[in-house]
Structure 1
């Protein structure tokens, strides 16, 4: 049985594949700062997309879609803001969530 960290890595890989199949371009994965982390950085045309990947095994507690707290979305926003400054990005940016569970994948564009 895979541990939670392995499942998270697998979910991120699958999310990346899923988004690439839908026309997004991979930029970077697991961007970590002291105050937050970005699971996937993708591009959708000229738009930058910061993706949070949520995985839940059997949909307990409302499943993966409901797993993102307000505090987590704040940390992701802060990390993305830092990333945008460091990379001097001047483009439209959005935050998407990929919610994965054994039943499948849900892509929530402009999640927060």
Structure 2
């Protein structure tokens, strides 16, 4: 399976899993000139920008560790841009979550880092 297919599958699984946890999907693969947000979800009164990562193992710190400072800054910039284009979202508090899949198993639940970083 190629990297794009693995990423799309991880995003699909993440969306389904987060919905089973009570979140609602607002948008998938939100692209703008500043970057891409994998999933935009609503958790009660919060807008949640979700970065989905999948890794076969925990090499080099694992999936969550790959969301380094530079990636966080890109996500923050993209989220700000998307909020400016969707003013109805800007009235809600926001947070950034990371959902990490590690291993090859379809049955392994993800590791959910709520409020993983702040702007």
Band the TM-score falls in, shorter-chain normalisation? over 0.9
Question: Within the alignment, does 1:107 sit opposite 2:112 as a pair?
Answer: yes
Which deviates more from structure 2 when the two are superposed, residues 29-38 or residues 99-108? 99-108
Alignment of 1:17 onto 2:16: yes
Does the Cα contact within 8 Å between 2:32 and 2:82 map onto a contact in 1? no
Q: How does 1:38-57 map to 2 (within 5 A)?
A: 38-57=37-56
13-22 or 54-63, which deviates more:
54-63
Alignment of 1:18-97 (within 5 A): 18-88=17-87, 89-97=90-98
State the SS of the aligned residue for 1:63: helix
What is the alpha-carbon root mean square deviation over aligned residues? 1.0
Runs of 4+ in 1 over 2 A off after TM superposition: none
Equivalences, count: 111
Structure 2: state its 5+ residue gaps: none
Contact 2:48-2:96 within 8 A present in 1 as well: yes
Shift of 1:62: 1.6
